[in-house]
Structure 1
Amino acid sequence: VNAEAFNLPVSLESGKITLSQSGSAALLQTDFGLRVSYDWNHYVVVSVPGIYSGSLCGLCGNFNGDGGDDFVSPNGTALPAASAFGNSWKTATSGATCRDDTDAPVPLCTEADRRVYTSESSCGVLTDTRGPFRQCHSVLSPITYSENCIFDLCALAGMHETLCQAIESYVAECQRRGVSIEDWRNATGCEIACPMHSHYNSCSSACPASCADTTAHLRCSQPCTESCQCDDGYILSGSRCVALSQCGCSFQGHYYSK
């Protein structure tokens, strides 16, 4: 925060801004309704109340319900293509590795590759009516997620991590909408290695107990989420699971681990 490292959770501006752990993601919340969730890897969700409709700008558009007028640069210029739009919002942050994108076509899949990527052992698992995500189909269509998955695998030569990330995005949104998802990782080869003293849970509390707030899970109103959950007898201290006796201390709204 402002170039200073802190353990989560963090409370700023007398509680007007909070940062906390939500499952395996970091969650920023403000007193005016902004929520930003980041899974520390590839998936970001930004949400704001409807009162801001048409009043926003940036990579997420203007939030007016019309996707046709979102490609606007910081100076208000309407741009013709997604690449020019994305490039216009790059920042001059020191150490950033973003490069200008182009409208060059993505290499097309061969028919053989596409058959593999659309199969139920790959991106097709998202739309499989007998698969682990079937309970979510009526709540959130998997079509766009599956198409994006196939597109990305074509562009990245079938990199398996890309498949896992595509599925994770769909699972996160399904769970955010309150849909229970079966354990899908073993069947897709997307297992995750949890840190010491923790284990994978496909439906763990989105507000895990921590040294800074040992009863957070008891007051949690958010739907469950998949994450690495601390084993019995251990509690979250920053990003590690420790015995309760090994907790650090809190001072002026900040938690300091041992």
Structure 2
Amino acid sequence: MNNSQGQAYRSGRFGVLETHFGLQVMFDWNSEVKVRVPSSYTNATCGLCGNYNGDKKDDLLMPNGQKANNPTQFGNSYKVGDALGCSSECKDCAQTPPTPAPGEKPPPYVADCDVITDPKGPLGDCLGKVDYARFHGSCMFDIQLNKGLQKAACDAIAAYVEQCQDAGGQINTRRKKDFCALSCPKNSEYSTCAPGCPATCYSMSAPTGCKAACREGCQCMPGFLLSDEECVPIQECGCKHENRYYRSGQIFYTDGDCQLRCSCQSGIVACQVASCGPQEMCSVLDGVQRCHPKAYSTCSVSGHSHHLTFDKLSYDFQGACSYTLVTVSNSAALNLSWFSVFAEKEHVMVGKVSTTRSITVRVFGVSITLEKGFPWQIQVGNALTQ
């Protein structure tokens, strides 16, 4: 995959892979996965993320077209291979959050999750913008399953904050030295609204086409740009085309009908004949004219395998093998670029639940893997790089 086909960059705590046709895959090198596809892929996907047809009632369709009896049968129908410790389901799985016996109070540590539902708290602005009940339930489930482990609550709250900020919500400082503390690298500082697509020394500005909202996290101090995990002094790059400046890696169109697609790479502009797809429109957005998808939809896997499909069906699946998150089921007929996203899952908590261990994206004939335990590194083919 060359730079005109897509790019990889860092956004908050996520590694992001984006392609020019609108696919976006995010992994936090821990357990959370997000796959966003444009509306041109409506009725053209299958896998654990669902079929993206606008109807969540038929999201649990197996490859044979039949509806699965339960999430376990559905998940196993998309198994693509064995992983270390692979099993189709876990024994003695915790399917619902533990509930106190009559007259018994819940453990005090569940109060860590209350920041999600507190209307006067630092996340109060999120209540009307995000399905807070789902995130609060996931937080309660995870922290009780982990016997009060604070990190379980912190991960669930972080996922909620990101959804909130994506929806335009604003947050106040919520982290403390004794609660979800965050340590920032040299030459960077904590911010409740750090750039969602931070400038790097490779592009001098945000990655091309990135529209991500600001993220809670670390940002480089003035005078520094991000390089791998370090903030370093500024360098420059970019292109000028027809008296206009374009960022390195940026894709743009020079005519009114989006018939000529151009890209800027290392100071050189290259153009080729193109056209917008059936679910795209040619318009000016953020001062740049190009083909834009009419809409996007995101599938996610968070915490202990809490799945949310493109059509917003929520389910839990605790299998621990390698699975198809999404693949293109009708690329040729719709003239779409083909891709697949696979998730390798592993059991934790003595086999009670599973979590994502690695994500592999296959696109443009290249296999790209992000694996738990190797933060800020990606494997392209057999080569590991930062």
The 3-state SS of whatever aligns with 1:37 is strand
**Once the two structures are superposed, what CA deviation does each residue of 1:149-208 show, in whole Å capped at 9, x if it has no partner?**
112222222221110011011100011112111111228700112223322222111121
1:206 aligns with 2:196: yes
Provide the C-alpha distance between the structure 1 equivalents of 2:194 and 2:146, rounded to a whole number of angstroms: 32
Q: For each residue in 1:40-95, what CA deviation from the matched residue of structure 2 results, as whole angstroms up to 9, or x when unmatched?
A: 222222121223223211111111233332223344443211123223333327x6
Partner Cα distance (1:198, 1:13) in 2:
30
SS at match of 1:83: helix
* Structure having the higher Rg: 2
Q: Flag the 1:55–1:180 CA change in 2: closer, same or farther, 3 A.
A: same
Contact 2:110–2:148 (8 Å) recurs in 1: no
Contact 1:211 1:237 in 2 (8 A): yes
Give yes or no for the alignment of 1:99 onto 2:87.
yes
Task: Tell me the equivalent position of 1:50.
Answer: 39
TM-score (structure 1 length as normaliser):
0.78
Once the two structures are superposed, residues 83-111 of structure 1 have per-residue CA deviations (whole angstroms, 9 ceiling, x without a partner) of 23223333327x65553324745173445
- The correspondence of residues 58-69 of structure 1 with structure 2, limited to 5 A, is 58-69=47-58
Write out aligned runs for 1:151-170 (5 A): 151-170=141-160
SS of residue in 2 equivalent to 1:48? strand
Structure-2 residue corresponding to 1:21: 10
| Contact 1:83-1:101 at 8 Å conserved across structures | yes
Amino acid in the other structure paired with 1:71: L
Q: Determine helix, strand or coil for the equivalent of 1:152.
A: helix
Unaligned runs of 5+ in 2: 236-247, 249-264, 267-384
Query: Equivalent residue for 1:175?
Result: 165
Q: 1:129 aligns with which of 114, 119, 127?
A: 119
1:1-12 alignment, distance < 5 Å: 12=1
* Cα distance change on mapping 1:29 and 1:17 into 2, 3 Å: same
Cα gap change, 1:214 to 1:113, in 2 (>3 Å): farther
Identify which range, 28-37 or 131-140, moves more after superposition.
Answer: 28-37
Structure 1 SS opposite 2:122 = coil
- 113 and 40 in structure 1: CA distance in 2 versus 1, 3 angstrom threshold: farther
Distance 2:30 2:105 in 1: 26
Question: Does the CA-based 8 Å contact 1:114-1:150 persist in structure 2?
Answer: no
Q: Return the structure number with greater helix share.
A: 1
How has the CA–CA distance of structure 1 residues 16 and 156 changed in structure 2, closer, same or farther, with 3 Å as cutoff?
Answer: same
Cα offset for 1:243?
A: 3.3
1:239 counterpart residue number:
229
Residues in 1 aligned to 2:63 and 2:85: alpha-carbon distance in whole angstroms: 20
Q: Tell me, which stretches of 5 or more residues in structure 1 are unaligned? A: 1-11
> Would you say how many aligned residue pairs link Structure 1 and Structure 2?
236
1:124 CA displacement: 1.8
Q: Which has the higher contact order (CA 8 A, sep 6+)?
A: 2
Q: Which one has a larger percent strand, Structure 1 or Structure 2?
A: 2
**What pairs up with 1:218-233 in 2 under 5 angstroms?**
221-233=211-223
Shift of the 241–90 alpha-carbon distance from structure 1 to 2, 3 Å rule, reads farther
CA distance in 1, matches of 2:160, 2:52: 21
Evaluate the alpha carbon distance shift between residue 83 and residue 116 of structure 1 in structure 2; reply closer, same or farther with a 3 A threshold.
farther
Distance 1:98 1:188, change over 3 A: farther
- Which one is further off, 31-40 or 54-63? 31-40
2:98 matched residue in structure 1:
108
User: 33, 38, 46: which one pairs with 2:27?
Assistant: 38
